[in-house]
Structure 1
């Protein structure tokens, strides 16, 4: 198994096209591996992800799936590397949550990183999200500060150019924590798990994602209790609708020179 679970160096050949000059070069690429998730000894899902910060990932994934509500409801997490390059991530819930994990494992219909797997109807998938309550105030300057600082918290992204980042930012835009993964859902799950483990309240700041804004990312943010989501790329229609309905402030197409306020039902963004 590789000593660094985040990346490896591959020998590649640069092929000159518009610009002459072929060359043999090393190229750092992120590790993508299958991660089988077990809950209470039962198979639950197989994800593709970067096998780093797996305890954070387990906590964030379990929260998004409704398996836990607090970090102390996760009794233990075991991450086991397999000889074939895959990983097994074993989640052991506290006794009061074990029956929930067992029932979800039994009724699960599909496997995905969206956090909505196992839903047996469209009505269940589109059920109203918890309504956020917040007094958070964030200025445009704070958003600009976070965007400017994000690259400093993306070591794997700088090395490979092939992973997503999720960062939790203080109201003034200072980045408190960040996590990276080849999957944007995984990066957010890892970040939420890290916040749980560190005892940091997501309601006290905002999340910044280097990804397009799909509805799954909105739902993960709402379930974590964070009142503002900022994404680099555009949202989908359902993401905007779900954010509005849950009271989540959503800012997308965030660039260093401008950003689009998709919705701000609780007036989090201050002029």
Structure 2
């Protein structure tokens, strides 16, 4: 499936208006279904529909299941595939079915809020927030990152954003080593989808918990992104944009380092400054 689409636009600027072709980021729904239950009593249920950019769909499904505390390890997954009974071919490519081990126990009341997720949505209501906090680990990572590494990360991430270069319409999440090496990068029209894809890739590689890495997201730092990073054991989140008040509160509660406005050789530290190595210029 294509990540980039085409559109005919009217360009209005300093000169005369002109019609021209343009490239746009593709956004399509992905339904995530799970198969669960004991042998001989298997059931299937749809648990989420998210608006996403096609690509790395299996990683997105795995990352979603892990960060929402539905699975705790990759070995709880028996198989993952596109649904063959979902109608036309284009519809099948928008439905992923994850078969879970018979031993996996699911409390569906805890995941009711996930039945529909837009590409830009966050968590809503106090009940949802309390449910999200359940299962988040308090981080005890000894990671320390030099400020120069943080300053370099946005440029490194941007260089790897291939689809963004064509469309300007995608978010990115990058996993970096303590030395500033970009380990995994994923793009998506939804910022939380990009992070779920990254976590899903790390889950398949048996890298979780990601206690020795930090993550950089291309937009703002929302409560949901902090929660997903906590579930993956990421001790430091840096964002090109601003964090929300709930994001700061959650990061503080669970001992995560949270940085915002990481750009132009500057950034704000909202909590967890002990994980940074920086020069005191006073």
TM-score (norm 2): 0.85
Counterpart Cα distance in 1 of 2:128 and 2:170: 32
User: How well do the aligned residues superpose, as a CA RMSD in angstroms?
Assistant: 2.5
Contact residue 179 and residue 190 of structure 1 kept, 8 A: yes
Give secondary structure in 1 for the equivalent of 2:103: helix
Counterpart Cα distance in 2 of 1:244 and 1:105: 27
Q: Deviations over 1:96-140 (max 9, x none)?
A: 11x31xx42796255336796999566434558310111111010
Structure 1 residues 20 and 186, CA gap change in structure 2 (3 angstroms): same
Is residue 32 of structure 2 the alignment partner of residue 27 of structure 1?
A: no
Moved more, 188-197 or 119-128: 119-128
Counterpart Cα distance in 1 of 2:231 and 2:130: 18
Q: Tell me what 1:111 maps to.
A: 116
Contact residue 212 and residue 233 of structure 1 kept, 8 A: yes
| 1:154-233 correspondence runs (5 A) | 154-201=161-208, 202-233=210-241
Is residue 79 of structure 2 the alignment partner of residue 76 of structure 1?
A: yes
Give secondary structure in 2 for the equivalent of 1:254: strand
Moved more, 121-130 or 64-73: 121-130
Contact residue 223 and residue 246 of structure 2 kept, 8 A: yes
Is residue 131 of structure 2 the alignment partner of residue 124 of structure 1?
A: yes
Contact residue 260 and residue 270 of structure 2 kept, 8 A: yes
How much does 1:235 deviate?
A: 0.7
Structure 1 residues 120 and 147, CA gap change in structure 2 (3 angstroms): closer
Q: Tell me what 2:49 maps to.
A: 46
Q: Tell me what 1:58 maps to.
A: 61
Number of residues paired by the alignment?
A: 262
Give secondary structure in 2 for the equivalent of 1:193: helix
Counterpart Cα distance in 2 of 1:251 and 1:89: 34
Q: Tell me what 2:39 maps to.
A: none
How much does 1:61 deviate?
A: 0.3
Counterpart Cα distance in 2 of 1:67 and 1:115: 18
Unaligned runs of 5+ in 1: none
1:258 equivalent among 250, 263, 266: 266
Q: Deviations over 1:75-115 (max 9, x none)?
A: 11112486495511111112211x31xx4279625533679
Unaligned runs of 5+ in 2: 36-43
1:90 equivalent among 91, 94, 97: 97
Contact residue 130 and residue 246 of structure 1 kept, 8 A: yes
Is residue 143 of structure 2 the alignment partner of residue 143 of structure 1?
A: no
Moved more, 172-181 or 114-123: 114-123
How much does 1:185 deviate?
A: 0.5
